[in-house]
């Protein structure tokens, strides 16, 4: 697997990764009917530095973005969003992207990383972030309407770098 900066031509492949996750509506706080254009405008926002993970065949199987979570006095804390193609789950792609993002955030001079909205029922993600040393520093009560489970809590997770 290789993780590299996304280029303009990666947008269709990033959409292939994002679309099933957005349509499922179980983990991202994004409209389930979001268009490709809107989703890519969100993922590839000007402030986002975007990477893609390629498998051994050069196929994009994941993507993540990194940004400052706040500006001004809060600009030393990074924020990331990660997406793994559902068909490629279980191959350590999210883990590799998280490791890459922590290292890259350190290189950029960030001193901490924060995830603002981890759906509490997303066990896979919560366990993964915890394995990287992220701790829940906040719990947002019933802040996420899960399509199957109804209103569930979301977590704020944080770690120093």
The residues of the shown chain that bind its own copies, judged by CB under 8 A, are: 22, 25, 28-32, 34, 70-77, 112, 114, 116-117, 119, 137-147, 154, 156, 158, 160
Instruction: Give 1 or 68: the residue with its C-beta nearer to its own copies.
Output: 68
Buried b (16+ CB within 10 A) or exposed e, 46-75: eebbbbbbbeeeeebbbbbbbbbbeeeeee
Instruction: Give 11 or 116: the residue with its C-beta nearer to its own copies.
Output: 116
- To its own copies, the closest distance from the beta carbon of 156 in angstroms equals 5
- To its own copies, the closest distance from the beta carbon of 58 in angstroms equals 31
Instruction: Give 128 or 156: the residue with its C-beta nearer to its own copies.
Output: 156
């Amino acid at each position: 697997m290789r993780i590299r900066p996304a280029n303009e031509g990666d947008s269709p492949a990033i959409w292939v990764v994002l679309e099933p996750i957005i349509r499922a509506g179980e983990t991202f706080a994004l409209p389930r009917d979001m268009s490709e254009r809107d989703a890519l405008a969100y993922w590839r926002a000007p402030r986002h530095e975007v990477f893609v993970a390629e498998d051994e065949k050069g196929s994009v199987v994941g993507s993540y973005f990194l940004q400052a979570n706040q500006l001004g006095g809060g600009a030393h804390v990074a924020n990331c969003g990660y997406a793994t193609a559902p068909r490629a789950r279980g191959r350590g792609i999210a883990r590799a992207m998280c490791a890459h993002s922590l290292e890259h955030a350190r290189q950029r001079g960030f001193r901490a990383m924060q995830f603002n909205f981890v759906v509490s029922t997303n066990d896979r993600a919560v366990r993964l972030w915890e394995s990287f040393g992220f701790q829940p520093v906040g719990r947002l009560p019933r802040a996420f309407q899960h399509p199957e489970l109804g209103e569930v809590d979301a977590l704020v997770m944080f770690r120093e770098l």
